[in-house]
Amino acid sequence: MGNKQSIFSQEELEWFEENTFFRRQDVLRIYAYFQRLTNGHNELSKEGFMSIAELHINPFRFRIAEVFSNDDGVITFEDFLDFLSVFSEEATRDVKSFYAFRIYDFDDDDYLSPNDVRQVVQCQVGSALTEEEIEEIVTQVFTEADIDGDEKLSFVEFDHIIARSPDFANTFRIRI
């Protein structure tokens, strides 16, 4: 009973608790799930990550994989834990807003351009709207949100819109 080796040190578990929205038992449960997903290899490819049940039908799975993968294009346990923490019920609106902005910033330039917003709308509606209808939405978003009129949305402008969206935190969520 006392000689079973722990997966994580006490310090690692404390760090996970302090830096995610999970308790230690959640971290251990998520680690077991990650081990099943990776067959014990401790890394997931972006393709493997995008095919997990929680993401495989998400229209933003490609961007989510980009945002949460490391420079080698793989998802480590820590990356996976960060991903689940951000999308957890316990994550704050501020954290969710920050990551939503990163996910929606398709060209990674720290602004949401009309093209980024267009891609967000296209991901959400697929072929349900015409190009003209999508352009109307993009124009309306910039009319309402582009406070300084520079044809791009800063994080502050984006966050201002998110703050007025009461359902945002509930929809930016993944349950495991």
Residue by residue, what is the 3-state secondary structure of the chain? CCCCCCCCCHHHHHHHHHHCCCCHHHHHHHHHHHHHHHCCCCEEEHHHHHCCCCCCCCCCHHHHHHHHCCCCCEEEHHHHHHHHHHCCCCCCHHHHHHHHHHHHCCCCCCCECHHHHHHHHHHHHCCCCCHHHHHHHHHHHHHHHCCCCCCCECHHHHHHHHHCCCCHHHHCCCCC
CB 172 within 8 A of CB 67: no
**At which of 61, 86, 111 does a domain end?**
86
CATH of the domain at 34: 1.10.238.10
- Residues 114-138: pLDDT tens digits? 999 999 999 999 889 999 999 999 9
Note down the domain range covering 103. 93-171
The answer on 143 and 107 residing in a single domain is yes
pLDDT tier at 38 (50, 70, 90 boundaries)? very high
Question: How far out from the chain centre does Cα 42 lie?
Answer: 20
The answer on 113 and 63 residing in a single domain is no
Q: Which two tokens stand for residue 2?
A: 């006392």
pLDDT attached to residue 126: 87
Q: Is residue 127 part of a domain?
A: yes
The answer on 38 and 16 residing in a single domain is yes
The answer on 112 and 60 residing in a single domain is no
Mean pLDDT of the region 33-49 = 94
The answer on 77 and 115 residing in a single domain is no
pLDDT tier at 2 (50, 70, 90 boundaries)? very low
Residue 95 above 70 pLDDT?
yes
pLDDT attached to residue 49: 96
pLDDT attached to residue 176: 74
% of the chain surpassing 70 pLDDT: 97
Q: Is residue 24 part of a domain?
A: yes
Q: Is residue 38 part of a domain?
A: yes
Count of the separate structural domains present in the chain: 2
pLDDT tier at 52 (50, 70, 90 boundaries)? very high
The answer on 100 and 80 residing in a single domain is no
The answer on 167 and 103 residing in a single domain is yes
